[in-house]
Structure 1
Amino acid sequence: MRQHYFLMNLLLFAIMFLSLQQSRAPKLTCRMSHVRVTRLCASCTRSHVTCHVSYVPPLKFQRGFTLVETLVAASILAILAVAIYLSFSTVIGATVASRAKVAATLLANEQLEVMRNLPYSEVGLVGGVPAGVVTRETEVVRDGYTFAVVTAIRNIDDPYDGTIESSPADTAPADYKLAQVTITCAKCADFAPVELATTLAPLGVEGESGNGALFVRVIDAAGEPVSGATVRIVNGEAFPAIDITDITDLNGRYQLVDVPPGELAYMVTVSKSGYSSDITHAPSLENPDPVLPPATVAAGQGTSLGFSIDKTSAISVNTLLEDCSVVGLADFSLWGEKLIGGEAESEPVYKYLSELVADGNGSLVVGLLEWDIYRVRPEGLTYNIVGTTPAFPFALAPGTNASARVLVRAQNPAGLLVRVRDLGAGTPVADAEITLARGLFSVSEYSTTTSQGGCEPEGSVYFAGLESGGSPYELTIVHPSYQTIVDDSIVVDTPWQEVVFSLSPQ
């Protein structure tokens, strides 16, 4: 009996448990109020069990937070916490940057105040013009910050009383001095350089110094002024020696007033990050007549110098055979037409001339090139150049990345590359019959076209197997649309030569 009672109670509890797992909709739930057992007769072996079950209202089902609800709440809390942290860190960063800015401003004012209290004759840079006791670059630690201090001091030729370039010229052009202090902090976050300037004037009227002035103007390839270009001026003959580094203004100009006179005494270098450079060159054995010699400054006069710089470029070169197969380790020279010397009687001295060698895959990247018109020629005794794409001379624009293919052939023993182009358009001329003859030797070829196979550039012919030296060759160029050209002065005296002819239309 107890077992039945236990099983019935277990069943009822199971029903109650399952009912709690259902939805929130109310359901009937029963529970056993009491159990009465009645024995019907003494001889009966079975008893009659009467179970009175009463029904009560269902238990109210109550739920906690689900996993999804918990994750959503945690995400919202995390977002709020991150936003608060970022706001706090921004405020802290702004406070730190403000402290660094205040410290830098106070330091700049301090540097200017020191110069204001110096004797006027000592307000200048060590090794600069005007000469003085102030160091151009120094590091100073203030409030835990390490600042770089750059000081520039210049003589100013005020136009109020005339300038050294006016007529009549101002014989005392150094009217007053302009001092500028620039503070930078490499390790400070969000720190903008602090620049402060002041003017300093002598107590009395300036007198004649017997000095002159040097004016530098910097332009780009288009003739526009280059601001912020670095100008370095060195005069080792002066006492004390002069070594000044400064930058050009918004008009690309830098003026150095009241400098000691000197003949070919001032070396000037102009540069800028990402740009080419330009420099004066002293006469030497290699360059006896430089195009831009050192500047000469005369007493009471101004000397003007012009420099041209622009963004650098690069050329990616591939060396190939005429069937487009790669040739590794081919050597050649690349040079530009700009000269730094040799405009008079001496041999030309090119600003850029370099011997280059392609890698094993026939590739080479030539960078940091100035805008110029470039040419190529073979070097060594292995290969001759039979053509280039694009055709050289090649005009390289500032700030560009160009590509070129150089076609080569083994030397045998000398060769002549002939290129023909239209006189007006400058474009290559295809299908021109070109004949090279000397004595019993005569060879005719047609200038290449783009429809021909291989990698040969249009409008060229390469004559191989020629003999160096001897009498001149005669070259004849015939094309139905152009006037015929005959040149009997073609001298082949090197393993490789190139000639270019411009054809006039009929």
Structure 2
Amino acid sequence: MVATAVLFLFIGGISVVVDASMRVVGTARAKYIGATFAQKKIELARNLPYDDVGTVGGIPPGLLPQQESIQVGALNYDVRVTVYYVDDPYDGVAPTDLLPVDYKRVKVAVTWDGPFASNSPLELWTDISPKGVETLAGAGTLSLQVFDSLGAPVVGADVLIVNDQVTPAVNLSTLSDSSGRVLLPGALACVECYEVTVSKDGFTTDRTYGTDEVDIPNKPHISVIEGEVSEASFAIDKTSTIHYKTVRTAEYNYAPINSVQMHVYGSKLIGTTALGEPVYAYDQMIVTQPPNGEIYVGNMAWDQYTVEIPLGSAVEEAGTSPLVPFALSPGQELTFYMVVAAST
């Protein structure tokens, strides 16, 4: 019996060692394949003409795809390429340096999932310099800043830039840096053509608007002027939730009442109509639901909100808690009570 137990322990120990060894070998092989893909992209970029060193739909534009999926056996590789101009401080930096396009930096990030999935991206990068003097003919610099509700920079915000009015068209996804900035020299010049949307997981969204959405937008699509820096700022923060509850008056012991329609709007404006009327960032009709006369509304932005009972409703407002307009902070969960009585 003792000999059998010892044998089982011995076999079990060998199995653990073999399993660990296979994982080490498998992980090393998966990493080697990922590094090979990254190195091939780097070599491809180095062998391209300088004007073609860029990404399809990116700034600067070029021949390198922004994303590529490659399957090797049970491993699925995701290869992402980013190309951007570097503004070397040797000759000053933007906005003082009106030609902040000293050279291009190519970065390749590879991740993979499967039996030996990556824990973090495998990254390689290289700098590629022009053969002559830096130029920015027909282009300018797009400078975007992302803040939170207190004015602090937001790191790692998702920034989507779309422009189908230039050739080649732009469709670029990038992230704000450690100072909340996205700096893109080499953006082709055009008027109110760069559509920018800024977001982040668990955060609100801020974006530009076209005249097809708002007659006179406060933040129109961005124009880029040749040889100049075009700046725009965006504010995002954690989303909030409002729990609306509609109840009867005190004589009914504040019993819940269902199917009450309410008009909710904030104070932030995205622009005005041609007649000068305000267009609110948030302006919605909501209806409380049975059985308890309530409704949860999430993904709300921080703002001052007003809640009203529309004219012609069967009920009218008899009081609210908190009083309107009320302030909603980033990341807050707020309960709002609307006390109603029969319309008179």
Query: Same fold by TM-score, threshold 0.5 exceeded?
Result: yes
* 1:185 aligned counterpart, secondary structure: strand
Asked if structure 1 preserves the Cα contact closer than 8 Å seen for 2:154 and 2:179, the reply is yes
Distance 1:356 1:183, change over 3 A: same
User: In 2, Cα distance between the equivalents of 1:101 and 1:135?
Assistant: 21
User: In 2, Cα distance between the equivalents of 1:330 and 1:121?
Assistant: 61
User: In 1, Cα distance between the equivalents of 2:152 and 2:225?
Assistant: 29
| One-letter code aligned to 1:91 | S
Counterpart of 2:66?
A: 136
Q: Which has the higher contact order (CA 8 A, sep 6+)?
A: 2
Counterpart of 2:239?
A: 312
Counterpart of 1:113?
A: 43
Deviation, structure 1 residue 106: 1.8
Is 1:273 the counterpart of 2:201? The answer is yes
Deviation, structure 1 residue 92: 2.5
Asked if structure 2 preserves the Cα contact closer than 8 Å seen for 1:164 and 1:300, the reply is no
Question: What's the CA shift string for 1:169-190, capped at 9, x where partnerless?
Answer: 43x3321111111111133545
Equivalent residue runs for 1:134-213 within 5 Å: 134-142=64-72, 144-166=74-96, 169-170=97-98, 172-191=99-118, 192-213=120-141
Equivalent residue runs for 1:240-251 within 5 Å: 240-251=168-179
Deviation, structure 1 residue 85: 4.0
Counterpart of 1:409?
A: 341
Distance 1:391 1:160, change over 3 A: same
User: When the two structures are superposed, what TM-score results if normalisation uses the length of structure 2?
Assistant: 0.90
Q: Which of 265, 271, 274 lines up with 1:335 in the alignment?
A: 265
Equivalent residue runs for 1:345-364 within 5 Å: 346-361=276-291, 362-364=293-295
Distance 1:386 1:249, change over 3 A: same
More displaced, 86-95 or 239-248?
A: 86-95
Deviation, structure 1 residue 79: 7.2
User: When the two structures are superposed, what TM-score results if normalisation uses the length of structure 1?
Assistant: 0.63
User: In 1, Cα distance between the equivalents of 2:255 and 2:82?
Assistant: 58
Asked if structure 1 preserves the Cα contact closer than 8 Å seen for 2:158 and 2:199, the reply is yes
Q: Which of 248, 262, 284 lines up with 2:190 in the alignment?
A: 262
Counterpart of 1:375?
A: 306
Q: How many residues align?
A: 338
Equivalent residue runs for 1:85-100 within 5 Å: 85-100=15-30
| One-letter code aligned to 2:58 | G
Distance 1:186 1:410, change over 3 A: farther
User: In 1, Cα distance between the equivalents of 2:7 and 2:336?
Assistant: 61
Asked if structure 2 preserves the Cα contact closer than 8 Å seen for 1:103 and 1:143, the reply is no
Gap regions ≥5 residues in structure 1 = 1-69, 413-506
User: In 2, Cα distance between the equivalents of 1:343 and 1:272?
Assistant: 29
Deviation, structure 1 residue 275: 0.9
User: In 1, Cα distance between the equivalents of 2:11 and 2:283?
Assistant: 63
User: In 1, Cα distance between the equivalents of 2:318 and 2:341?
Assistant: 7
Asked if structure 1 preserves the Cα contact closer than 8 Å seen for 2:159 and 2:176, the reply is yes
Question: What's the CA shift string for 1:360-410, capped at 9, x where partnerless?
Answer: 121211011111111111135222121122222221111222222211112
User: In 1, Cα distance between the equivalents of 2:171 and 2:305?
Assistant: 35
User: In 2, Cα distance between the equivalents of 1:326 and 1:384?
Assistant: 15
Asked if structure 2 preserves the Cα contact closer than 8 Å seen for 1:291 and 1:343, the reply is no
* 2:23 aligned counterpart, secondary structure: helix
Asked if structure 2 preserves the Cα contact closer than 8 Å seen for 1:219 and 1:225, the reply is yes
Counterpart of 2:215?
A: 288
Question: What's the CA shift string for 1:88-142, capped at 9, x where partnerless?
Answer: 4333223322221121112111111111111111111112221111111111234
Counterpart of 1:365?
A: 296
User: In 2, Cα distance between the equivalents of 1:180 and 1:364?
Assistant: 46
Distance 1:398 1:82, change over 3 A: farther
Counterpart of 1:232?
A: 160
Counterpart of 2:319?
A: 387
Asked if structure 1 preserves the Cα contact closer than 8 Å seen for 2:83 and 2:105, the reply is yes
Counterpart of 1:450?
A: none
User: In 1, Cα distance between the equivalents of 2:155 and 2:94?
Assistant: 23
Q: Percent identity?
A: 34
Distance 1:73 1:257, change over 3 A: same
Distance 1:188 1:268, change over 3 A: farther
